[in-house]
Amino acid sequence: MDTVALTFDDGPYPETTPALLAALGGTRATFFLWGEHAAAHPELVRAIAAAGHAIGNHTWTHRHLTTLAAAEQDQEVRRTQDLLTRLTGIRPALFRPPYGDTDATVAKTLVAHELTEVLWTVDTRDWAGCTTEEIAAAAGAVRPGGVVLMHEGRPATLDAVPRILAALIARGLRPGPVQP
């Protein structure tokens, strides 16, 4: 069975993360966590890890990395790496730049932290306020081996997850985490 990676950015959020974990059930995904949010909600980071999901680094403050000096980029990544490692006991191997904003300097920062950059093949545009139906339809366009971009903290995304899972399975696709 072909796989499709489900990814969720920007969490954790106490308002939606527990319900998202419940909606995913036994399906594993990759959560790219925002350092400030993770620091504010360490119990949710631990819950994501305990449920068997992959955890990736999404920087400390969610800034456009290409606008920062190399030392600032390093601090954004390092602080988040250190926190997530401390909270879960596992050093993240995956990284998603906020806004998909990346360049050669970002790539050098990631090499220094032994991180693999993960972008996406399908943007559900949940961040733009799309409806549950629009999010599910966008995710439905993913091809085998693709990566679906979604965001925590969006009620419409939360409502779309069961539909997305059912549609992928009906197509013979296996939803799961990013494979490094």
Just list the catalytic residues. Answer: 9, 151
SS3 165: helix
Burial group, residue 178, by CB count within 10 angstroms (0-12, 13-18, 19+) = buried
Contact status, residue 145 vs residue 175, Cβ threshold 8 Å: no
Closest CA to 7 of 24, 30, 37: 30
Q: Half-sphere exposure (CA, 13 Å, Cβ side) for 104?
A: 0
| Sign of CA pseudo-dihedral 33, 39, 44, 48 | positive
C-alpha–C-alpha distance, residues 31 and 66, integer Å? 22
Contact status, residue 123 vs residue 137, Cβ threshold 8 Å: no
Alpha helices in 113-154 (DSSP H): 132-139
